[in-house]
Amino acid sequence: MINYDEVIAFLEKESSATETVSRFKQAYQTFSETGTWQPAYEVRVAGWQQLDGVMLLEPNQTLENDYQVHITATNERSLRELLLAFPRRQIGRFHLTEKWIEDRISDIIEGDSIQTDTGSFYQGIKRGSRTKSEQRTVLKRKDATVSHLRKLTSLKGKIEHSQYIVEGTLLVERAITDGFPIESLLYTPEYVATADGKAFLGRAVEENLSVYQVSTGVMGSITTTRPVPSIIASVHLNYPNFLSAAGHLNFNFGQRCILLIAEDIGNPDNLGMTLRTADAAGVSAVLLSDTGAHPFHKNCIRAARGAVGRLPFFQTQSITKAIAALRASGWCVLGATAGTENELYATEFSHPIAIVVGNENTGLSAEARESCTALVRIPMASGQSSLNVGVATGVLLYAFIQRHRI
């Protein structure tokens, strides 16, 4: 249930588009008096413990689009949540009021920037739901669509095309429900033979996604997973650098943000569990080093349970440079290690805060430890000296959330 008074208060505080906010306030006043929206706004919100983002969708019948779209977001996660919530098949004219939003919008919305007398806009449609889609049976392994998805089984192909593959009923259906920018969807006759599968594919077609029926043999030529999954999907995901060429933060944040930094986590299952935990804890984004497991690894994607695609990811070649840039921007950066006397629950910290976790076997590098604002350890009873990195991440994040609950 949306609290429109809270939405208006948020917009008045955070939005620079004062005319847009005034028009929405007037429409809400009319709605409060008559029960009817004029104009017929649709409102999407983002945030967990507090409101972090609002998207106003104003139906538009006069231009070559379906909605005039106004987005106000305070951090990377809230923006991504709002863009994922934009309906498929619909063309939006997005009013761009901040440069960082303009830099991120093409990750989810495929379109073009437009300059007019009244300002800068971005007009586009959610990736994968273009006005022209395909629904057909693929018989050959050399089909262009199959060949493209086969390229996505290698890390090189995933990075080159900014796409990864999700496999199996649970993850594919969750990707549809969460609004992921799905480029194509492949299924076997066994999948569509079930009532649930048939209903789901009908929904995918209604959302204008390209869907292809393939044999189990063709599906097996794409993925090494056994038994062969009955449904897979390719999803677009950009993975930008955390720092600009000049060494500045390429990352937008608010005062209450929490950033997870993962340095050299080697096991993709562990990385996936860590990302799933970070997603559940509501982190604003995840920064990954260029060593260790990659978030596009299929084991990571499976273990992350939808966090890959929902969370904003950033990469860096130098964790120490990233930490230095964060500290210069007012961040408190805490490194998790067993090699310190500072206990987690006795450590003071300030927002915004970044938590750094390291390799399962060797922990944080010496350079990372030296770069942090402070180091903390999780207290443990005798018998164990460490925790699985995913478990440790959960303990750390929820400890800070509990102590500074909004």
Question: How far apart (Å, rounded) are the C-alpha atoms in residues 134 and 91?
Answer: 19
Per-residue pLDDT, 89: 92
Highest mean pLDDT: which range of 33-37, 114-118, 339-343, 367-371:
367-371
Contact 345, 395 (CB under 8 A): no
Per-residue pLDDT, 404: 67
pLDDT tens across 191-201, in order?
Answer: 999 999 999 99
Per-residue pLDDT, 406: 46
Question: How far apart (Å, rounded) are the C-alpha atoms in residues 122 and 195?
Answer: 40
pLDDT tens across 263-284, in order?
Answer: 999 999 999 999 999 999 999 9
DSSP output for 316-377: ES-HHHHHHHHHHTT-EEEEE-SS-S-BGGG----SSEEEEE-BTTTBS-HHHHHHSSEEEB
Q: Indicate the DSSP class of residue 39.
A: S
pLDDT tens across 107-127, in order?
Answer: 999 999 988 777 789 999 999
Q: Cα 330 to the chain's mean position, in Å? A: 24
Question: How far apart (Å, rounded) are the C-alpha atoms in residues 398 and 36?
Answer: 41
Contact 162, 237 (CB under 8 A): yes
Residue with tokens 């993850």: 171
DSSP output for 103-118: HHGGGTEEEEEEEETT
Q: Please say if the pLDDT value at position 202 is more than 60.
A: yes
pLDDT tens across 238-258, in order?
Answer: 989 999 999 999 999 998 899
